[in-house]
Amino acid sequence: MSTEKSFAKSLGSLDGVFDFLQQFVDKEAIAERHAFAMNLVVEELFTNMVKYSGGTDKQVVIRLDKGDQRVTLELTDFDSEPFDPESVSAVDVEAPIEERRPGGLGLHLVKTLVDDLRYEMDDRTLTVSVTKSLES
């Protein structure tokens, strides 16, 4: 099953985003542990789109797709600054807090919660797609 919805590019949209995710989780009978990971991933990605890609009147589209033992979450921002996730330095989560630099922790979290993460930039349209296994 696949569904999508547009949201204003604003932190005020997060309640609607979470409602949309919960409706999908309920309809698809997705286990709570996977739903929790999905919520964290979408919150991090959506928040980054709002905070770092510039404020516009454009919407962010969230598309959800459930297949055989996996969920794909896709977020599309139609007015984004170019971003290369490979340019973000790996986060040393073992380093003492006073030696850590701000930035990159959210992307690190997303990468640990999903099985596949892809970014595509076309002109000013950024699409982030993640796949989460529903096995075990």
- Read off the tokens for 131: 């796949």
Phi-psi category of residue 96: left, alpha or beta, with phi > 0 → left and psi -120 to 50 → alpha: beta
Query: pLDDT (tens digit, 9 = 90+) per residue, 10-65?
Result: 999 999 999 999 999 999 999 999 999 999 999 999 988 888 776 677 899 999 99
DSSP alpha helix (H) spans, 77-120:
105-113
Q: Provide the whole-model pTM.
A: 0.83
Kindly indicate whether the domain formed by 2-133 is annotated with CATH number 3.40.5.50: no
User: Would you list the domain boundaries of the chain?
Assistant: 2-133
Q: How many CB atoms lie within 10 A of CB 106?
A: 18
| pLDDT of 104 over the 90 cut | no
